[in-house]
Structure 1
Amino acid sequence: MPKRWFVLCLSLFLCLLLLSPLPSIKPIPRRLYDVIRSGSAALDLPCDCDSGRPVDGAVPSTCSARATSRGPGQRVVSYSLFGSARNNGRATGRFEGLFAENAENIKARYPGWTMRVYTNYKPEIPEQREWMCGMQCNHSHVDFCLVDRLPGLGNITGLQNQGRMWRFLPGMDPLVDVFLSRDSDSLILDRERAAVQEWLDSDFMFHIMRDHPGHYAYILAGLWGAKPHMDRELMANLTRRMLFHTESKHRKTFDQEVLRRVLWPATKDRMMAHDSYYCTNPNFRGPTYRPFPTRIEGRLFVSYGPRFANTKRNNRKCPAKCRPPDHQDWELC
């Protein structure tokens, strides 16, 4: 008897289920299938050009599934891009406008490197998704890292809402061997590339540059780099400490203050510095200093960008000790 009742109830349930109207189900766009199979559909930027890209990896990137697909040993030029409510969630043209040009500059001057953009732009907003997908699809070496949904990290904006700090995050990505932190409104120049190459060829883990009288800072947030592969535990710990740092959070120079307080004391003895003006300054003792290997061209100092186009050219002579020994005639370095 109990078995008969069970069969009858099951039959009635199935009849009701079949007669009930089906809910409306929206089809999943084909371009998302590969990401969904990876288990990170909500973490990635859905662009048509990524359809079919393999994303499985034994070790995931903390940026995106697209970044994971590049595998280990990545070399990254890292940027922050953050919008504001005053501009409909977009950054101003000064900051957004140079990304396409710098993508080409990176491709030419850092072949094989990836350009990473850590951003609070949202793919759910069509205008923002269109711009980001345009960048990724037109430049195969560009990855966007969505800071409100980073793989393994989640939404970091509650922990660190200062967008300038996000570009330091490659320091805790297990797939990144080398990264450079750069400003979104500065250009990548040959002078920078030559200095970076000297550092890459060295055994120093960290690198900084100062190339203008106005670069009076321990570490400029857009002119430093690191080789995490040399000591991943150290690099990850320093990155975490910088992200957790909240003192002076609302100052414009917050990112450089954090670098001074956290990174500088822990790394200055493992650091190469290219410096045109402060190579003998006692406040900046610690790193091993080098002159820039190429002569400055016009006003094109490292970190130059269009914002300096209408400013007066720097004519201050650099100290003789900051010039190459065999080029003491380079008075402007």
Structure 2
Amino acid sequence: MNGHVISFALFGSDPKYRRGMMQNIRVRDQVYPGWEMVIYCDRVNHHALAQEPLGNNVEVVLQQEHSQGVEGMSWRLLAALRPGVRALLFRDSDSVFTTREADAVNEWLGSRYDTHIIRDHPYHQSPVMGGTLGVKGKSLALLGALVRDRLHAHRRSEYGDDQVFLSGSFYCKVRKNALVHTDCVRYFPERTQPLPADRPGESFVGSYAFVTPEEQEKYEAIRKSERAVTLLPPHWQRKRILKNIFKYYRPVRRIRHGCRWCL
């Protein structure tokens, strides 16, 4: 093991997630050679994966429902607490690895930045997308500390909490030490750069492995996006930023919460 780990959460009964997971296992050696895969899953999927040929460097970790008060999607964050990890990627089980994604990851690994953020679709409007994040160095240590604090707080998380957590307190601490690959959405005052490889057709990093008619709408949005969109941070993030800048809470209290992008 070289300390390079890709972390997943696999839970629920929808077969597309397990199918996507198996496809990632099959193409891992071609796209991410030398990387270990860690899959945090519930009992049903743990039993199903035990019947499959997983190959080398694939570890399946059984998690109980609401294990440690952590909701299923947040299980993958537990990999930040694993010893010996040097670089850590978080990915969605229903999104299959691509060489375009790996090219961006390799560019990040060779950079001075400790956080890697990819927004490759107009719908990727969170500062941090939970399924395209990478951390190493100081950012990995910071994320591990934040995850540990959440566990010690014994606060039960709910669906979507991982995205709010990553795009809130974590992003505010790492945004100056982040390489942001995006052709679509950037947050002021980020410095961003396009992904190193051209987009193959309508595919994007984080796209679904098995597309339903309802999900086809996301692909159609690619055609309508002709340029990058710059967004101000959402109000819950702006509040934290202002608090860090002014070190005083009164100006922050003037922020109105009626508008999604309020100042």
Q: Provide TM-score, normalisation by structure 1.
A: 0.61
Q: Report what 2:76 is aligned to.
A: 167
Query: Does 2:216 match 1:294?
Result: no
Q: Report what 2:165 is aligned to.
A: 258
Letter in 1 for 2:36: T
Q: 2:26 aligns with which of 92, 104, 122?
A: 104
Higher RCO by CA contacts (8 Å cutoff, separation 6 or greater): 2
Q: Report what 2:90 is aligned to.
A: 181
Q: CA deviation at 1:217?
A: 0.6
Larger Rg belongs to:
1
- Work out the CA distance in 1 between the residues paired with 2:173 and 2:41: 28
Q: Report what 1:196 is aligned to.
A: 105
Question: What are the equivalent positions in structure 2 for 1:86-235 lying under 5 Å apart?
Answer: 91-121=13-43, 128-129=46-47, 131-135=48-52, 137-148=53-64, 157-160=67-70, 162-227=71-136, 229-230=137-138, 233-235=141-143
Q: CA deviation at 1:220?
A: 0.8
Question: What are the equivalent positions in structure 2 for 1:228-247 lying under 5 Å apart?
Answer: 229-230=137-138, 233-243=141-151
> Is the 1:77–1:114 contact (alpha carbons within 8 Å) kept by the matching residues of 2?
yes
> Is the 2:183–2:228 contact (alpha carbons within 8 Å) kept by the matching residues of 1?
no
Letter in 2 for 1:297: P
% of aligned pairs identical? 26
Tell me: CA distance 1:294–1:240, structure 2 relative to 1, closer, same or farther (3 Å).
same
Q: Which runs of 5+ in 1 are unaligned?
A: 1-69, 84-90, 149-154, 323-333
Q: Which runs of 5+ in 2 are unaligned?
A: 231-263
The root-mean-square deviation of aligned C-alpha atoms, in Å, is 2.7
Q: CA deviation at 1:221?
A: 0.8
Tell me: CA distance 1:203–1:144, structure 2 relative to 1, closer, same or farther (3 Å).
same
Tell me: CA distance 1:318–1:274, structure 2 relative to 1, closer, same or farther (3 Å).
farther
**Structure 1 residues 187-246: Cα deviation after superposition (integer angstroms, max 9, x where no partner):** 11121111111101111111110011111111111010101x446643421222354678
Question: What are the equivalent positions in structure 2 for 1:33-52 lying under 5 Å apart?
Answer: none
- Work out the CA distance in 2 between the residues paired with 1:300 and 1:267: 28
Tell me: CA distance 1:156–1:315, structure 2 relative to 1, closer, same or farther (3 Å).
closer
**Stretches of 4+ aligned residues off by more than 6 angstroms:** 245-248
SS in 2 for 1:111: coil
Tell me: CA distance 1:233–1:164, structure 2 relative to 1, closer, same or farther (3 Å).
same
- Work out the CA distance in 2 between the residues paired with 1:97 and 1:165: 20
SS in 2 for 1:98: helix
Letter in 1 for 2:5: V
Q: CA deviation at 1:307?
A: 4.3
Question: What are the equivalent positions in structure 2 for 1:311-326 lying under 5 Å apart?
Answer: 311-312=216-217, 313=220, 314-319=222-227
Question: What are the equivalent positions in structure 2 for 1:322-333 lying under 5 Å apart?
Answer: none
Q: Report what 1:41 is aligned to.
A: none
Q: 2:209 aligns with which of 306, 311, 322?
A: 306
Number of positions where the alignment pairs a residue of Structure 1 with one of Structure 2:
225
More strand by share: 2
Q: CA deviation at 1:274?
A: 0.4
> Is the 2:73–2:162 contact (alpha carbons within 8 Å) kept by the matching residues of 1?
yes
> Is the 1:276–1:319 contact (alpha carbons within 8 Å) kept by the matching residues of 2?
yes
SS in 1 for 2:112: coil
- Work out the CA distance in 2 between the residues paired with 1:232 and 1:304: 25
- Work out the CA distance in 2 between the residues paired with 1:232 and 1:291: 24
Q: Report what 2:5 is aligned to.
A: 76
Q: Report what 1:14 is aligned to.
A: none
**Structure 1 residues 146-202: Cα deviation after superposition (integer angstroms, max 9, x where no partner):** 235xxxxxx971332x01001111211121111110111111112111111110111
Tell me: CA distance 1:128–1:208, structure 2 relative to 1, closer, same or farther (3 Å).
closer
Q: CA deviation at 1:79?
A: 0.4
